Structure 1
Amino acid sequence: MTALPHPAPPPATVPRARRSRRQLTPWLFLAPGLLMFSVYVIIPIFQSIWVSFHDWDGLGAMRWIGLANYSELWWDEAFYTSLKNNIIWLALYLLAVPAGLMIALFLNQTVRGIRIYKSLFFFPFVISQVVVGLIFSWFYAPGFGLFYALIEWVTGTGVALLADERYVTYGIIAAGLWPQIAYCMILYLTGLNAVAPDQIEAARLDGAKGWRMLWHVVLPQLRPATFIAVVVTVIGALRSFDLVSIMTSGGPFGSSRVLSYYMYEQALSEYGYRMGYGAAIAVVLFGIMMIFISGFIWKMWRDEKGA
């Protein structure tokens, strides 16, 4: 006796099942990353906002004080000094983007010894920020620092850059620009490898060269690399903690503080472990970051939609 064949499923069932699997599969791959992002990013953000409404030393019980931490920030001169320094960091740090582009265009040429040049420009990116801070601290050091000796040779009087309230922030920014330019250079080198050669040839046949070629043909194709470079540079400028801590510890007299370092001082140093006040500074810093990053994302989405 032969077994009867199973009835075939309805025609609409198979496509619907396949469609469900196709919709579910990407979420299965994204699930581990989304879980880690939620645990280590999203939840801490809301916890910081919650802590900013409390008076807390990090160990004892939290005491609800509402907006008192933010009210204190409004009258805190050290907070405004840190905010001003962050704005200076942001304005000057963005120079890393065009500088990285120019170096990438140079390194993209096929000339003799180009691998050596690439290694030299790539070197700042692979060393630690702590090492960068120490190198520039010695570079600026009074008496034996190369920068000090050079200024003394040119003007007759050396400048202790890291001990001068007028120049200390600019000296630290110069140290930060060294590895940041290398990072932007790497992004643009990767983007230049994806530039369509047929468009370059077509532009050459139309007589485009030099600046016109760069502006109308190359830069539009480097838009994704530019977006990443700008976002990463903005984030790096606003969370500039390492170099300030290594080179000056916020001095002299707090003149080189930035918001991230001031947050650390208030929450985890000799100021009494004011976790709530430090969290309020962190929330302000996060809000500034979100304003800039949201603006860049909206502009890129608008440009892509228009294209």
Structure 2
Amino acid sequence: MAPITEKHTAAPRKRRSRQSLAPWLFLAPGFAMFLVYVIVPVFQSMWVSFFEWDGLSPKIWIGLGNYIELFDDEAFYTSLKNNVIWLALYMLAVPAGLMIALFLNQTVRGIRIYKSLFFFPFVISQVVVGLIFSWFYAPDFGLFYKLIEWVTGSQVAILADEHLVTYGIIVAGLWPQIAYCMILYLTGLNAVAPDQIEAARLDGAKGMKMLWYVVLPQLRPATFIALVVTVIGALRSFDLVSIMTSGGPYGSSRVLSYYMYEQALSEYGYRMGYGAAIAVVLFAIMMIFISGFIWKMWRDEQGAR
């Protein structure tokens, strides 16, 4: 039997080091782009929020001046209130997506056609969604406008009513968001263990009991992702507001992301520092929600071990 030499032990060690290094080499470009395009801009926005700056002139240090001004800004509170409404109502996309996914997960005749119809809102642009619903709500010729007039005898211009406009835009946003949650749950349902379903059926479980005690626990990863993307979608609801109302009427449909744009980049503002302060507040709200979801999921996984 030949003695084990240092040369023989060095080869496996070198191979193991290469195998451990390979994943990091594949991840490095993504990490670099995330650092350059996400992490660095976040800290730059925080830094700019302490200045009065129009984007061209020299920056003027004002410390917490922009944040102090936010507390006296009525438009900021309107935008914040609308974001809270978006968050509350946008959460309807998660259970709605789950119910549609449960329906589409069946093997019935024509199910592929149904899947295509429900999947369609996800693949079209938010701009197209905004235009479709703008026509849907349009006075004189919009389908919704005509329907309300026919049913109630009164005329309601959703996008021109400062009390209804936010809800009208949210309905437009829910259409593709429900489709997105549906896709996540369909993917999750494909991974549900069939042996657990059969065991539950043998024990007499069916209907809501089957869903609550057997299916939903296995859909926790899909639910987590659906909640996170829904919260992010509600907080960054810029596209539809810009396309459908431009923040109107009278600024009543503004959200924080659109108000940030108005202050920093539109002809009404060019106040980069103030816009950055709004962005920091929005980022903080987003991080609170996402951190809460991550903490809850981590605690559930620890408890399951």
TM-score exceeds 0.5: yes
1:235 equivalent among 232, 235, 238: 232
Structure 1, residues 102-144: CA drift from partner, whole Å, max 9, x if none? 0000000111111111010001001110110011011101111
1:210 equivalent among 207, 210, 215: 207
The two structures have a TM-score, normalised by structure 2, of: 0.96
Residue in 2 that maps onto 1:3:
none
Residue in 2 that maps onto 1:298:
295
1:96 equivalent among 78, 93, 105: 93
Structure 1 residue 153 corresponds to structure 2 residue 184: no
Shift of 1:63: 1.3
Instruction: Give the partner amino acid of 1:293.
Output: I
Cα distance in structure 2, aligned partners of 1:246 and 1:136: 10
Cα distance in structure 2, aligned partners of 1:29 and 1:94: 36
Shift of 1:12: 5.9
Cα distance in structure 1, aligned partners of 2:106 and 2:155: 40
Q: SS at 1:112's partner residue?
A: coil
8 Å contact from structure 2 (residues 136, 142) kept in 1: yes
Calculate the aligned-residue CA RMSD, in Å. 1.5
Residue in 2 that maps onto 1:4:
none
Cα distance in structure 1, aligned partners of 2:8 and 2:105: 56
Percentage identity across paired residues of the two chains: 85
Q: SS at 1:148's partner residue?
A: helix
2:120 equivalent among 123, 126, 134: 123
Mapping of 1:176-195 within 5 angstroms? Answer: 176-195=173-192
Residue in 2 that maps onto 1:196:
193
Shift of 1:164: 0.5
8 Å contact from structure 2 (residues 262, 269) kept in 1: no
Q: SS at 1:252's partner residue?
A: coil
Q: SS at 1:86's partner residue?
A: helix
Cα distance in structure 2, aligned partners of 1:272 and 1:304: 47
Cα distance in structure 2, aligned partners of 1:232 and 1:73: 27
Shift of 1:59: 1.6
Shift of 1:92: 0.2
Q: SS at 1:272's partner residue?
A: coil
Cα distance in structure 2, aligned partners of 1:13 and 1:142: 78
Cα distance in structure 2, aligned partners of 1:245 and 1:109: 39
Shift of 1:19: 4.2
Residue in 2 that maps onto 1:44:
41
Q: How many residues are aligned here? A: 302
Gaps of 5+ in 1: 1-6
The two structures have a TM-score, normalised by structure 1, of: 0.95
Residue in 2 that maps onto 1:27:
24
